């Protein structure tokens, strides 16, 4: 009877966890699709290569090999270890124990042993990362927008959570091994496991009832922890665990220095040069908008970038404007974009559709001073380990400032006037510019 109650409770908890996670994921998908359409379907082979190298292989992180290896342990290890969740779910629903053992046979302890080694590596790496963040206090983790509050705490919560989950996994297996040695019913023989066998002596002298209690506590703690982690993920910067893969696939493949022209401007110039091509009638209700003022004016890829940001700060550390004391922080640009998106999400949830709240990404979240500090050098794009482009958002917002609000420094306006009148940034006409060659 107790076993049946446990199976029912597990099934209900699993359904609730998956339902809540799916609901939030669909909201994030809806938010991303608020962005303007952008077709990214070219060069598929290169895109798959980027996905494997940059998302799973974490190629860019290997500029710092030690940190890259530790991060790979956490990232790949955590994903691979969670293959075991399939067995736990089957065990929980069916009431069996180690359901895969009869099918895998002698390979089973090898697989579990590999999982245990990965679990130990994840545990060690997370401890080192906590030490770097809170004792060594690496500057990019404790500076600017991450100096205090939720963003800083979020990383500590996740690292601590992973330490707890990996510890529960290893202790569960160690208690299981002790129960196997007692030939306890329900606990089938697996043979020695590679890491937990060294923890097993700690349970010497424990009664069978106590060992079952420890094993069940760790089993339930591990799977419930996974469910909690799964539902915490969409609210955390660690959503990049999922979105890094599509974000790397859809990353820009052109040279980083290439900027996309605005079709609306090209069209207007064409009509100016060849008026006969201009349409006879125009739709008065179709108001052209240049650049981006709010998140809905950005592309869906820009919005996916915002949700994919790891907040690692490599972009900001590499930014020359930030290094010279300017207010610009590419990491803050991405965090502000995501914060604005979340505000829009809440607005839609409350009103069923978006109701103008009098706010916008430009001005209310990202200031003019930040945008003007950008040198468009692409250092932030080059450094990002998950193929995010803060520069693309900056350019779109800056275009809106200049072309919609006529908000530009005097020096820029003088240059714009010279280009318009003299076809060059200088105040001299084309005939005057080569006068020095005749003097």
User: What is the tens place of the pLDDT at every residue in 44-60?
Assistant: 999 999 999 988 888 88
Per-residue confidence (pLDDT) for residue 73, from 0 to 100: 86
Cα(367)–Cα(397) distance, integer angstroms: 10
- Domain 263-276+289-431: which CATH number of 1.10.287, 1.10.1060, 1.10.8, 1.25.40: 1.10.1060
Of the chain, the percentage scoring pLDDT greater than 90 comes to 63
**Helices 330-351 and 390-404: angle between axes, nearest 10 degrees:** 70
pTM listed for this prediction: 0.88
Question: How many helices (H) and strands (E) in the chain?
Answer: 21, 0
Contact 222, 165 (CB under 8 A): yes
Token pair, residue 167, equals 């510890």
Cα(93)–Cα(263) distance, integer angstroms: 56
Token pair, residue 7, equals 């199976």
User: What is the tens place of the pLDDT at every residue in 80-103?
Assistant: 877 788 898 889 988 888 999 999
User: What is the tens place of the pLDDT at every residue in 335-350?
Assistant: 999 999 999 999 999 9
State yes or no: pLDDT of 171 exceeds 70: yes
**What average pLDDT does range 290-303 have in this prediction?**
95
């Amino acid at each position: 009877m107790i076993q049946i109650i446990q199976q029912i409770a597990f099934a209900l908890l699993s359904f609730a966890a998956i339902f809540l996670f799916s609901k939030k994921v669909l909201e994030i998908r809806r938010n991303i699709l608020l962005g303007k359409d952008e077709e990214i379907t070219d060069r598929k082979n290169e895109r798959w290569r980027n996905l494997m190298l940059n998302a799973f292989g974490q190629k860019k992180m290997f500029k710092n090999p030690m940190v890259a290896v530790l991060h790979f342990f956490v990232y790949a290890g955590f994903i691979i270890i969670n293959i075991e969740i399939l067995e736990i779910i089957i065990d929980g629903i069916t009431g069996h124990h180690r359901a895969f053992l009869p099918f895998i046979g002698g390979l089973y302890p090898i697989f579990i042993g590999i999982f245990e080694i990965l679990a130990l590596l994840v545990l060690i790496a997370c401890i080192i990362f906590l030490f770097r963040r809170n004792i060594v206090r690496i500057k990019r983790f404790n500076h600017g927008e991450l100096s205090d509050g939720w963003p800083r705490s979020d990383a500590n919560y996740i690292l601590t959570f992973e330490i707890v989950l990996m510890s529960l996994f290893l202790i569960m297996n160690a208690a299981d091994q002790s129960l196997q040695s007692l030939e306890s019913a329900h606990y089938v023989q697996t043979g020695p496991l590679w890491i937990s066998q060294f923890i097993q002596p700690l349970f010497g002298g424990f009664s069978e009832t106590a060992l079952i209690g420890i094993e069940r506590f760790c089993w339930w703690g591990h799977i419930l922890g996974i469910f909690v982690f799964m539902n915490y993920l969409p609210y955390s910067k660690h959503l990049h665990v999922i979105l890094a893969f599509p974000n790397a696939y859809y990353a820009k493949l052109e040279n980083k220095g290439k900027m996309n022209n605005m079709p609306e401007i090209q069209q207007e110039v064409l009509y100016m040069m060849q008026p006969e091509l201009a349409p006879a009638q125009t739709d008065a209700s179709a108001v052209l908008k240049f650049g981006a003022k709010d998140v809905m004016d950005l592309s869906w890829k820009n919005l996916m970038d915002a949700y994919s940001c790891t907040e690692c700060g490599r972009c900001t550390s590499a930014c020359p404007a930030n290094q010279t004391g300017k207010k610009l922080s590419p990491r803050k640009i991405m965090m502000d974009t995501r914060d604005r998106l979340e505000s829009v999400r809440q607005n839609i949830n409350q009103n069923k559709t978006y109701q103008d709240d009098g706010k916008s990404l430009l001005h209310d979240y990202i200031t003019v001073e930040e945008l003007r500090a950008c040198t468009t050098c692409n250092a932030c794009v080059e450094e990002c380990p998950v193929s995010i482009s803060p520069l693309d958002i900056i350019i779109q917002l800056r275009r809106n400032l200049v072309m919609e609000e006529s908000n530009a420094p005097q020096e820029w306006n003088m240059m714009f006037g010279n280009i318009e009148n003299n076809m060059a940034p200088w105040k001299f006409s084309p005939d005057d510019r080569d006068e020095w060659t005749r003097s």
